Amino acid sequence: MPIEYNIIPDKKLVLAKGSGVITGTDVLRHLDALALDDRYKAPMKKLVDYRSIDDIRISMEEAYAIAQKKIKLARTFSGERCAFVSPMDVTYGSSRVHQALVDGAGLKTAIFRHIEDALAWLGVALDLDQEA
């Protein structure tokens, strides 16, 4: 699966990691799975790690659909702080589009090139060798 995630309950953290080629369908499936996961207890922090993906292929129509899905699930994800780690230009740009589309929906999203900066923004200490 291109997007796998783990919930670390004691840190109230969702650690989502992308690999290979990420599509709009992959992101929508991830959001649906997370929304149905009984371990997700809002408010949570979410780290989306795109450091290992090869490419991201999300059309503007899919980007709007993803944003609308996230807005629709805003109650489920209430209070979430979501940090994207997107070192490549293509993933950084796509993540910024997502940030702009969900802005104003009460979903705090920030985009970073380095995981250390994302973790600092989230206020989470994480042993990257064990968790990543």
Q: What is the pLDDT of residues 5-25, one digit of tens each?
A: 999 999 999 999 999 999 999
70 and 103 in contact (C-beta within 8 Å)?
Answer: no
User: Is pLDDT of 130 > 60?
Assistant: no
* pLDDT the model gives residue 60: 87
Angle made by CA atoms 109, 119, 129, in degrees to the nearest 5: 135
Note the pTM of the prediction, 2 decimals: 0.88
- Both ends of the chain: CA-CA distance in Å? 16
User: Is pLDDT of 65 > 80?
Assistant: yes
Domains of the chain (ranges; CATH) run 3-131 (3.30.750.24)
Residues 6+ apart with CB under 8 A from 107: 70, 71, 74, 77, 80, 82
